[in-house]
Chains A and B, each alone.
Chain A
Amino acid sequence: DIQMTQSPSTLSASVGDRVTITCRASQSISTSLAWYQLKSGKAPNLLIYKASILESGVPSRFSGSGSGTEFTLTISSLQPDDFATYYCQQYDRLWAFGQGTKVEIK
């Protein structure tokens, strides 16, 4: 099974900060990677798929990069609505999620 490791598990940041979350796969997954945003009581939201393609309707401050085993999600200027938990997911072989990164207010 492919294991996904996210870092950090928690990130404290302020509005306007540039934020980067890393996701590593235990073996190469090409660009078969997605990023999701979860907020309590709301439907999870797909942000990025195929490692770097922005889902329709997602603000352009979100971006994704990487291939193979190392990937990043970047929020260029953190907004109040962005405080949430973020998950990566590989879909190259079956599906597997990272353990999540909580972005909290500093």
Chain B
Amino acid sequence: ELQLVESGGGLVKSGGSLTLSCAASGFSLRNYTMNWVRQAPGKGLERVSSISSNSNYKYYAESVSGRFTISRDNARNSVSLQMNSLRDEDTAIYYCARKRGDDLSHDAFNLWGQGTKVTVSS
């Protein structure tokens, strides 16, 4: 079964740090652009960060740029999101998602994890 499993969420104080991990099983993620998408309480979906298959291209939403760092380890079949200087507004469920097609294609996200909850408390 194709699966993405996120981990690393939890309760952290404002200004603190947290690292989220996303482990793939049932397939190799080395050929895919991987993404982090979050949903704050009562809000819609927001794409947070993306990384191309060879890590050459990284995208960050303006709201997290300079504070979050995305990385991947294709040998370990995993993607990570290092989150620093956390703010109350970073409280959300964070989903890992795989984009269809190759790095250059504009496409949808066809495999998602169940998410990991991050709560930032001041």
Segment touching A, from B12-20, B43-51, B68-76: B43-51
Q: Chain B residues near A42: list those with CB within 8 A.
A: 114
How big is the A interface, by class? 20 to 34
Q: Chain A residues near B107: list those with CB within 8 A.
A: 49, 91
- Look across to chain A and name the residue whose beta carbon is closest to the beta carbon of B35: A95
Is the Cβ of A91 less than 8 Å from the Cβ of B59? no
Is the Cβ of A43 less than 8 Å from the Cβ of B113? yes
Check: B110 CB closer than 8 A to any chain A CB: yes
Q: Which of A51-105 contact B (CB under 8 A)?
A: 55, 87, 89, 91-100
Q: Which of B30-80 contact A (CB under 8 A)?
A: 39, 44-47, 59
Q: Chain A residues near B106: list those with CB within 8 A.
A: 32, 91-93
Q: Chain A residues near B39: list those with CB within 8 A.
A: 38
Q: How many residues of B contact A (CB 8 A)?
A: 20
Is the Cβ of A97 less than 8 Å from the Cβ of B109? no
- Look across to chain A and name the residue whose beta carbon is closest to the beta carbon of B106: A91
Q: Chain A residues near B109: list those with CB within 8 A.
A: 34, 36, 44, 46, 89
Decide: A44 near B47, CB < 8 A? Known: A34-B108, A91-B107, A92-B106: no
Q: Which of B77-122 contact A (CB under 8 A)?
A: 95, 97, 100, 106-115
Is the Cβ of B46 less than 8 Å from the Cβ of A55? no
Q: Chain A residues near B108: list those with CB within 8 A.
A: 34, 46, 49-50, 89, 91
Is the Cβ of A41 less than 8 Å from the Cβ of B59? no
Considering the chains assembled together, what is the distance between the CA atoms of A75 and B47 in angstroms? Answer: 26
Residues of A bordering B, CB below 8 Å: 32, 34, 36, 38, 41-46, 49-50, 55, 87, 89, 91-100
